[in-house]
A and B are shown apart, each in its own frame.
Chain A
Amino acid sequence: IAGITQAPTSQILAAGRRMTLRCTQDMRHNAMYWYRQDLGLGLRLIHYSNTAGTTGKGEVPDGYSVSRANTDDFPLTLASAVPSQTSVYFCATSPSRSETQYFGPGTRLLVL
């Protein structure tokens, strides 16, 4: 593994289904983030984690949950997907909350 990996690369999901987007890093960064990118809206923060065991809400947290059981993994769960959650999801990490963030390659999600 080199840097940040996200899985799956893309997914088509029926509305109402549960889905977990995976993010794994090998840089031992303390802070991790989930963003969504929508056309014309830029990147918006969903949830973040300053360090393993802690999480916080970002700008658009509704409908999403996260956990941070260890340093390397930060999964994002959609409990019951809705079409408005169709988006490109990016995971990011930074050594600490105050330092530059580095992004993964993204997951394209289509909710029908």
Chain B
Amino acid sequence: DQQVKQNSPSLSVQEGRISILNCDYTNSMFDYFLWYKKYPAEGPTFLISISSIKDKNEDGRFTVFLNKSAKHLSLHIVPSQPGDSAVYFCAARGGSQGNLIFGKGTKLSVKP
């Protein structure tokens, strides 16, 4: 049973527009959420995170929104750039000693 779900395997966006990547979770004990970005043949790179006590965290072009009642988080990239083309993984953690649980990833393609 998947605890962290990324239901869109892929997303295609025009350069300059907004990219919205979605993630749903089932475990209400998750208290910390992260997004990682992965290029082919490289390891995942940490992008942005959010604690369950917040509903928004922003870092430059990247904003993560958390809706705890809906058990949903999203990553917004504005404006999207071709270099943002990568696989994005959502991850969640339950408690300070909990393991990270990853979604299956969404492949983002930003077209020039």
Contact = CB atoms under 8 A, between A and B. Distances in A.
Given A43-B89, A98-B96, A98-B97, A106 B102 contact: no
A105 B97 contact: no
Contacts of B43: 4, 90, 92, 103-106
A62 interface: no
A105 to B, nearest CB: 5
A43 B44 contact: yes
Contact of B49 (A42, A90, A100): A100
A64 interface: no
Nearest to B45: A103
Given A40-B104, A41-B104, A42-B104, A103 B96 contact: no
Interface residues of A, number: 22
B110 interface: no
The 10 closest A-B pairs by CB, nearest first: A103-B43, A98-B96, A42-B104, A43-B102, A42-B102, A103-B44, A105-B43, A104-B43, A97-B97, A45-B99
Interface of A: 4, 40-45, 48, 50, 58-59, 90, 92, 97-98, 100-106
25 contacts: A4-B43, A40-B104, A42-B89, A42-B102, A42-B105, A43-B89, A43-B91, A44-B102, A45-B99, A45-B100, A50-B97, A58-B99, A59-B99, A90-B43, A90-B44, A97-B97, A98-B96, A100-B34, A100-B46, A100-B49, A103-B36, A103-B43, A103-B45, A105-B43, A106-B42
